[in-house]
Chain A
C-alpha cells in the first residue's frame, strides 16, 4: 500500500516544547491559594498502626490538615484487585502511606510531618518469595488468597518424558533477575483542586487518565462525571505510572480542605511510591537433539509480587507464555508463580514479565549451541517460529512472524572482527 504521511519522518509536535523547556510537567503548574501536601510513610515492612497523634503537627502555624485512613470514604485502590489502601492502617511494605499532611508551604508540611506520631505494632515479615510460599507462612492477603501464592500458571504441552528421551544434550541452570526501578526522570507530581462546578480536577502525569479517574471517584465516593483527570506532559513512565501513586491523596486533601493541593515527590519518595520490576528466579532445563532441534523444556519461574497484587497475575502469565522464547519446543512443562512478600510491590515495567525470561531462554540457547558445536545463529535458525508454527500454549502463528527476516538482517554483524573497527 502506497502512503505519503504514514511512513514519513514527521517531526513530533511535542519536540519543540521539550527542547526549549516550555513543556508543562505536573510539577510546573500551580494555582493561586494552593497548599502543599506530603506523605508520612511506614518505616516498617509489616505492622499495624495502633494510633496516630497529629495534635503537635496541627498546632504548627500554617498546617491545614492531617488526614489518615479514617478520612478516606473508600480506602482502597488497585488495578486488578483493590487490595492497596489509600492510607494504611495495616502495613505490608516499607513506604506504605499512613497519613498525609497539608500546609501553606512545602517546608511547613515537611516540618509538620516530622511531628506526627505514629504508633506501630511491628509484625514478623517475609522477604524471600520461596519462604513466603511455604504453607505455614502467614498470608499477607488472607481475604484475597489463603496463602501467599497469588497466582500459578501451568503450561503443559506434549510429553516431557518423550522429550528427554529424544534429547542428546540437556542444559539445566538457575537464573535470577533483580528488583528494578523505572527511574523515570520526572518524579510523581499532582495538582488537585475543586473547580467552580464543584468537580474534582486532578492534573498529573499518568499512563491512563481514565483509570485514575475511576480510582479517585471510588475512593472519594464521587461519580465519574464529577472527577476530571487531565494529563500533563509525562516525563517517562515505563509501567511505573500505571498504579495510583499520589493522585488520590492529593484529591482527598483538596476535597477536605477546598484548597488547591500540590504534591511533588522527592526522588527518594518516588522510589517508595510506585511499583518495581518483578525479581524472578527461573529454573530452566532444556533439551535438544545433536542436530540442534529443541525437544523439551521444563521451567519454573517464581516472581516476587511484593506487598500488593498490582499486575502480578498478568506479569507472571506473560512470563510463562514467553518462557519458551520464539522457538518451537514440542514437549513443555512450565510453571510460573506470583508470590506476596513484604518487599516493595512489583507491577508493570516495560517487558512485563517477558523481559526476565529472555535472560534464561537466550542463555540456554547459547549453552546448547556450544555443547552441540554449532553457532548461536545456527541453533536459533533451526528452531525459530515461522508462519504456521505452534507455540508452547498451542497457539498457531498466522500472519506476520518475520523473525527469520530479522536474523537475516543481523547475520552480517555476527561475523567476528567485523563490528566496531
Chain B
C-alpha cells in the first residue's frame, strides 16, 4: 500500500566563520574610461553564482547594468584574498567588501564630478543609467564615460581597495556562552512523501521551502540555491551513505554510492522572506547552506506522518522503514 504524509522542518544557521575567527574579504575596483568597471576579488565562484551577484552589487551602486561590470575572481596573481567560498559567506561578506570598494571609488568620482559641475557637495551628484549629473538639474549631466575619460586627462583615476570583516566573538570555552555567529539565517520546509509499505521505498512528492534571505539580490539564484539544497537534502535523508569496512570505502562509485538524479527530484516550490539584515549588502544574508538544512527533518517527519515509523538514523533506507513497520506490527 502507498501512504502519504507531510512533515515540517525548521532550521537556523549562523553564517560566516564565526567564533571570532578572522572573517575578512577584500575587493579591488576600477572604473574605466568608457564608464564600465572591473571588480577583482579572491572569492571563487564555485557554481553558486557569486560573480553575478558582485556584478549586480557594483552595477546598482554605479547606476550601470550588470553587463557593464567585469568580475574577475580566484586568481592569486591578480585578485585580493577574500576568504573561502564556504560558511554561506560570499554574498554577505565579499558582497560587503565589493560594496565598500565600489562606494570608495564612487566617492572620489562624485567629488570630482561635484567640482566639475560647480556643485559645492558630492551629495548633489547622482549616477543613473550610465550618466552622471546634478540631482534635479538635467542640464548639468553627461555620460559617465565622458566624465571618467576627462578625469584621466587631468590625472584623476577612480580605483579602490577595500576589506570587510564580519562580526563574531569567541565563546567561553567552559560554558559555551557568547555571540559566536552573525547573522543567522532561518528557514522552514514542508515535504510530502509517499511510502510504499510493501517495499519500504520513500518517494518525495513535493517540497515547499521558505527561506529567510534578508534581500533576494537575484531571485532566480535564490530559487537555484533552494532547488540544489533540497535535492542534496533528499540525498542526505534517503540515499547517500558511504559504506566503510575497516576504513575502506566499499562503494566508491556513483553506481553504488547513490545521489539523487533528476528522477528523484520532486516538485519544489521556493519561497523567500525579505526582512533586511542591516549589516548585509542591500540587506542580504547568505543562503548556500541553509537551503539544504530543513529538508532532512521535513522528510523524516513526513515518513512518520505517513506510516508511523520514526527514523532516527540516516539515511532512511527501505530496509529501515520495513523494519520499523514490522516492529510496529509486533508492538
Shortest beta-carbon distance from B65 to chain A in Å:
6
- Whether, in the assembled complex, A81 has its beta carbon less than 8 Å from a beta carbon of chain B, the answer is no
Which residues does chain A contribute within 8 Å of B86, judged by CB atoms? 207-208, 239, 242, 348, 352
| Chain A: CB-nearest residue to B288 | A350
Which residues does chain A contribute within 8 Å of B59, judged by CB atoms? 5
- Whether, in the assembled complex, B56 has its beta carbon less than 8 Å from a beta carbon of chain A, the answer is yes
- Whether, in the assembled complex, B51 has its beta carbon less than 8 Å from a beta carbon of chain A, the answer is yes
Measured CA separation A43–B249 after assembly (Å): 10
- Whether, in the assembled complex, B215 has its beta carbon less than 8 Å from a beta carbon of chain A, the answer is yes
Q: Render B234-257 as a binary contact track against A, CB cut-off 8 A, 1 for contact.
A: 011000111010111100111001
> A227, A320, A363, A394 — which one has the most chain B CB atoms within 10 A of its CB?
A363
Measured CA separation A275–B14 after assembly (Å): 22
Residue in A179, A362, A396, A420 whose CB lies within 8 Å of B244:
A179
Measured CA separation A234–B50 after assembly (Å): 12
- Whether, in the assembled complex, A19 has its beta carbon less than 8 Å from a beta carbon of chain B, the answer is no
Shortest beta-carbon distance from B77 to chain A in Å:
4
Measured CA separation A363–B42 after assembly (Å): 40
Measured CA separation A238–B236 after assembly (Å): 13
Q: Render A391-421 as a binary contact track against B, CB cut-off 8 A, 1 for contact.
A: 0111111011111011101100110100110
Which residues does chain B contribute within 8 Å of A385, judged by CB atoms? 12, 184, 186
Measured CA separation A413–B6 after assembly (Å): 9
Which residues does chain A contribute within 8 Å of B100, judged by CB atoms? none
- Whether, in the assembled complex, B116 has its beta carbon less than 8 Å from a beta carbon of chain A, the answer is no
| Chain A: CB-nearest residue to B284 | A6
| A14–B247 touching, CB < 8 Å | no
| B244–A13 touching, CB < 8 Å | no
- Whether, in the assembled complex, A334 has its beta carbon less than 8 Å from a beta carbon of chain B, the answer is yes
Q: Render A348-366 as a binary contact track against B, CB cut-off 8 A, 1 for contact.
A: 1011101100110011011
Report if A234-B44 is in contact (Cβ < 8 Å); known contacts: A6-B282, A229-B76, A267-B254. yes
Report if A237-B242 is in contact (Cβ < 8 Å); known contacts: A154-B174, A402-B212, A409-B210. no
Which residues does chain A contribute within 8 Å of B171, judged by CB atoms? 153, 155, 317, 321, 393
Selecting from A69-77, A111-119, A142-150, A168-176, the interface stretch reads A168-176
Shortest beta-carbon distance from A215 to chain B in Å:
12
- Whether, in the assembled complex, B273 has its beta carbon less than 8 Å from a beta carbon of chain A, the answer is yes
Selecting from B29-37, B105-113, B131-139, B306-314, the interface stretch reads B306-314
Interface residues in A153-173 by Cβ distance below 8 A to B read 153-157, 173
Interface residues in B284-331 by Cβ distance below 8 A to A read 285, 288-289, 292-294, 296-297, 300-301, 304, 310, 312-315
Task: Give the number of chain A interface residues (Cβ < 8 Å).
Answer: 116
- Whether, in the assembled complex, B11 has its beta carbon less than 8 Å from a beta carbon of chain A, the answer is yes
- Whether, in the assembled complex, B200 has its beta carbon less than 8 Å from a beta carbon of chain A, the answer is no
Report if A363-B277 is in contact (Cβ < 8 Å); known contacts: A209-B44, A350-B289, A420-B206. no
| A405–B219 touching, CB < 8 Å | no
| A234–B247 touching, CB < 8 Å | no
- Whether, in the assembled complex, A61 has its beta carbon less than 8 Å from a beta carbon of chain B, the answer is no
Which residues does chain A contribute within 8 Å of B297, judged by CB atoms? 358-359, 362-363
| A175–B84 touching, CB < 8 Å | no
- Whether, in the assembled complex, A4 has its beta carbon less than 8 Å from a beta carbon of chain B, the answer is yes
Which residues does chain B contribute within 8 Å of A384, judged by CB atoms? 10
Selecting from B117-125, B141-149, B151-159, B187-195, the interface stretch reads B187-195
- Whether, in the assembled complex, B130 has its beta carbon less than 8 Å from a beta carbon of chain A, the answer is no
Interface residues in A1-23 by Cβ distance below 8 A to B read 1, 3-14
Report if A407-B293 is in contact (Cβ < 8 Å); known contacts: A208-B84, A326-B10. no
- Whether, in the assembled complex, B38 has its beta carbon less than 8 Å from a beta carbon of chain A, the answer is no
| A234–B45 touching, CB < 8 Å | yes
| B18–A318 touching, CB < 8 Å | yes
Residue in B14, B190, B236, B313 whose CB lies within 8 Å of A322:
B14
Measured CA separation A276–B247 after assembly (Å): 12
Measured CA separation A171–B271 after assembly (Å): 32
Measured CA separation A366–B190 after assembly (Å): 13
- Whether, in the assembled complex, B221 has its beta carbon less than 8 Å from a beta carbon of chain A, the answer is yes
| A414–B186 touching, CB < 8 Å | no
| B186–A402 touching, CB < 8 Å | yes
| B296–A355 touching, CB < 8 Å | yes
Which residues does chain B contribute within 8 Å of A342, judged by CB atoms? 247
Interface residues in A199-248 by Cβ distance below 8 A to B read 205-211, 213, 224, 227-231, 233-239, 241-242
- Whether, in the assembled complex, A94 has its beta carbon less than 8 Å from a beta carbon of chain B, the answer is yes
Measured CA separation A94–B87 after assembly (Å): 28
- Whether, in the assembled complex, A343 has its beta carbon less than 8 Å from a beta carbon of chain B, the answer is yes
| A362–B292 touching, CB < 8 Å | no
Shortest beta-carbon distance from B229 to chain A in Å:
8
| A394–B177 touching, CB < 8 Å | yes
| B293–A355 touching, CB < 8 Å | yes
Report if A6-B215 is in contact (Cβ < 8 Å); known contacts: A175-B313, A239-B86, A405-B273. yes
Report if A155-B186 is in contact (Cβ < 8 Å); known contacts: A237-B46, A359-B297. no
Which residues does chain A contribute within 8 Å of B87, judged by CB atoms? 352
| B49–A12 touching, CB < 8 Å | yes
Report if A321-B180 is in contact (Cβ < 8 Å); known contacts: A3-B282, A43-B248. yes
Residue in A156, A234, A365, A397 whose CB lies within 8 Å of B175:
A156
| B248–A410 touching, CB < 8 Å | no
Residue in B14, B74, B240 whose CB lies within 8 Å of A318:
B14
| B60–A10 touching, CB < 8 Å | no
- Whether, in the assembled complex, A180 has its beta carbon less than 8 Å from a beta carbon of chain B, the answer is yes
7 A-B contacts (beta carbon < 8 Å): A4-B60, A6-B217, A10-B218, A155-B177, A359-B300, A401-B184, A406-B186
Q: A180-B242, A401-B275, A420-B206 provided; 5 other pairs, C-beta below 8 A? A: A10-B52, A229-B75, A239-B86, A362-B296, A406-B211
By a beta-carbon cutoff of 8 Å, the part of chain B in contact with chain A is 6-14, 17-19, 21, 42, 44-47, 49, 51-52, 55-57, 59-60, 64-66, 71, 73-77, 79, 81-87, 171, 173-184, 186-190, 192, 205-206, 208, 210-212, 214-221, 229, 232, 235-236, 240-242, 244, 246-249, 252-254, 257, 259, 267, 269, 271, 273, 275-279, 282-283, 285, 288-289, 292-294, 296-297, 300-301, 304, 310, 312-315
